Structure 1
Amino acid sequence: MRVGVVRNPKSYRNRRDMPWVTAPDNVLFAKPKTKAALTEALTSFAEAGVDRLVLDGGDGTVRDVLTRLPATFGARIPLLAVTPSGKTNVLAEDLGVAPDWSVEAAVGRILDPAAPRQVRPCIDVVREDGSLRRGFVFGTGAYVRATRLAQSAHRMGAFGTASVALTLAMSVVQSIAGRDDRGWRAGEVMQLARGGKAEARARFLVIASTLERLPLGLKPFGAERPGLKSLTIDAPPRLLLAALGPLWRGTEPAWLARAGYVRGEGDFKIALDGEFVLDGEAYPGGELTVSAGPALEFVT
């Protein structure tokens, strides 16, 4: 067994705390500061026979590593562990990883054959040209605006669950206020197809995830369950205040879908001119296929 540790030196916790373990010879370390350096590190890990990866960073670090695994490790996906060192650690929270879980503890656990494991498929976002990005939370429309608000919350000193709570509160205020024909409430025209003909209309928000438990107990997709799940909200959002309860608790009142709040399962295609966000980072829109990726094993 060989372990590779990818430590993001730019992650929130790692900028303040940089101790290194005294590791056995079968543990390799990398502290890549650029995307190119990350690719080089993963390539060297694969060539060295690494079959276990500890990802020391936030959700963005996980996204960047998973996106590069096909080009560096090929079809051989290593066993994974995540230490929550970023400003947002939604994946780690879903897996039940303690906020203070250290690299030392993760290395010890991932080398233990009897350590408990959990499986989560990632999301594959593929463009028309075949380029791939992998993550766990996809969103567009109001989700892009909310991500920018989250960055403001970080500047205010709110991180993790506190950041999610503050961002959600600010997003609700922005979504209720204002006119239907401009700003948040106007939404964005996009084409969405789920196994059939694409339908173009203004949508306030589209969000999808393969995670099972979201921060604050939010259940926008309904009951907690595995697999790729999505929520689409038409623009302008109707009965938004009334819908907050069902979207938080995961209930399914009969009026919810009629009001334009549609929950879905499985893969879909989406085309949009605006941006989309994958695990906290915004990318240009286009014609995209959003699907469940390979099942990944995480030591917890």
Structure 2
Amino acid sequence: MALELTRIGVIRNPRSHANHGRASAPPAGVLWGEPETPAALAEDLRRFAQAGVELVVVDGGDGTLREVLSALPAAFGAAAPILAVLPSGKTNVLALDLGVRPGWTLDAALARAAHEPMGLKTRRPLTLTWAGGEQADLSGFIFGLGAFVRATQMSHSVHRMGAFHSLAVGLTVVGAAFGALFGRDGDGWRQGVRAGLALDGNEATVAARFVVLVTSLKRLPLGLRPFGSPQDGLKVLEVTAPPRRLALALPAVLMGRAEAWLRRRGYHRSLAERVVITSPAPVVVDGEVFPGGEITIGLGAPVRFLVP
């Protein structure tokens, strides 16, 4: 399957790391949008849908992609387009999972789209719904609570140091590990946050949790495997607070080793269809902080991604 250029649209975030200060213009026959607000993004996607766009190129980072995925259903309904990701952000975790390297250009993506057949990979994003509707529903790929929120906030300093992509993730993990390893049980790193967690309709357990991570990705930067061996589905990692024997557990968890003593010490990996997390603490979705609450996490419909 190949696409005509008249059925391709581009959503470009001019504030993304690689795009900042660089002007760009649409190629002939390609619909273009550089929305400044969620309402403008929704309008651009409706315009694309009305024009029969079958491929949407997202030129931005993980946050831009999250906003596009979240707005797609209202614009396209069940007839979702193929997406292509130009990794223009600071970390680009989904692009890494798809095998899209930094530097993949719009011209290269358009050439790939015209190739017969196109290269496609399928991923199912997380769907996140806040009870009470105080926060709009989101679609994304990495959810975090507890120490992950602090590590994400710390990553902004890493970016200011000039570290991006996998290096930024690595430095953030090292910094978070340092804070957790050498902090006291009552400090901000180790004390965790109190949260209820329920998997697949089971009764929620309420406890202090050092970290909760949820993803549908198979591959993370630097070969990290905190969810175990790569597999499809909604994967959950939870660690009780304060984390026990962290110096010994951390390398085992990050390398994906399945050792019985980890679970006994409060390190739990799970595969689920539905997760409900209840906590007033803030959470992170694809690199941005959002309010806590009662949040239901599931798997969305499969999305096809164009890859090199």
Q: Aligned AA for 1:242?
A: L
Find the counterpart in structure 2 of residue 265 from structure 1: 271
In structure 2, C-alpha distance between the alignment counterparts of 1:107 and 1:149, rounded to whole Å: 36
- Choose which of 78, 81, 97 in structure 2 pairs with 1:78: 81
- Choose which of 215, 227, 231 in structure 2 pairs with 1:209: 215
113-122 vs 5-14, greater mean Cα deviation:
113-122
Find the counterpart in structure 1 of residue 70 from structure 2: 67
1:15 equivalenced with 2:40 (yes/no): no
Q: Aligned AA for 1:148?
A: Q
Alignment check: 8 A CA contact 1:21 1:104 kept: no
Q: How does 1:137-286 map to 2 (within 5 A)?
A: 137-195=142-200, 196-266=202-272, 267-286=274-293
- Choose which of 289, 293, 297 in structure 2 pairs with 1:290: 297
In structure 1, C-alpha distance between the alignment counterparts of 2:26 and 2:192, rounded to whole Å: 49
CA pair 230-11 structure 1, distance change in 2 beyond 3 A: same
Normalised TM-score (structure 1): 0.96
- Choose which of 103, 108, 115 in structure 2 pairs with 1:112: 115
In structure 2, C-alpha distance between the alignment counterparts of 1:59 and 1:19, rounded to whole Å: 20
1:49 equivalenced with 2:56 (yes/no): no
Alignment check: 8 A CA contact 1:10 1:33 kept: no
Secondary structure of 1:184's counterpart equals coil
1:129 equivalenced with 2:132 (yes/no): yes
Deviations 1:169-196 (CA, angstroms, capped at 9, x unpaired): 1101111122212311000100001131
Deviations 1:187-210 (CA, angstroms, capped at 9, x unpaired): 010000113111110000000111
Secondary structure of 2:158's counterpart equals helix
Alignment check: 8 A CA contact 2:14 2:21 kept: no
Alignment check: 8 A CA contact 2:228 2:257 kept: yes
Q: Which runs of 5+ in 1 are unaligned?
A: none
In structure 2, C-alpha distance between the alignment counterparts of 1:127 and 1:19, rounded to whole Å: 37
Secondary structure of 1:40's counterpart equals helix
Deviations 1:132-165 (CA, angstroms, capped at 9, x unpaired): 1000000010010000011111111111111111
Find the counterpart in structure 2 of residue 40 from structure 1: 43
In structure 2, C-alpha distance between the alignment counterparts of 1:286 and 1:244, rounded to whole Å: 28
- Residue 36 of structure 1 deviates from its aligned partner by 2.0
- Residue 21 of structure 1 deviates from its aligned partner by 5.2
In structure 1, C-alpha distance between the alignment counterparts of 2:110 and 2:47, rounded to whole Å: 19
Secondary structure of 1:231's counterpart equals strand
Normalised TM-score (structure 2): 0.94
Secondary structure of 1:38's counterpart equals helix
In structure 1, C-alpha distance between the alignment counterparts of 2:27 and 2:64, rounded to whole Å: 23
Alignment check: 8 A CA contact 2:14 2:22 kept: no
In structure 2, C-alpha distance between the alignment counterparts of 1:72 and 1:268, rounded to whole Å: 27
In structure 2, C-alpha distance between the alignment counterparts of 1:210 and 1:290, rounded to whole Å: 11
Secondary structure of 1:186's counterpart equals coil
Alignment check: 8 A CA contact 1:81 1:110 kept: no
Secondary structure of 1:151's counterpart equals helix
In structure 2, C-alpha distance between the alignment counterparts of 1:183 and 1:128, rounded to whole Å: 27
- Residue 255 of structure 1 deviates from its aligned partner by 0.1
- Residue 22 of structure 1 deviates from its aligned partner by 3.1
Q: Which runs of 5+ in 2 are unaligned?
A: none
Find the counterpart in structure 1 of residue 9 from structure 2: 4
- Residue 113 of structure 1 deviates from its aligned partner by 4.4
In structure 2, C-alpha distance between the alignment counterparts of 1:44 and 1:129, rounded to whole Å: 30
The number of equivalent residue pairs is 298
- Residue 16 of structure 1 deviates from its aligned partner by 4.1
Alignment check: 8 A CA contact 2:144 2:283 kept: yes
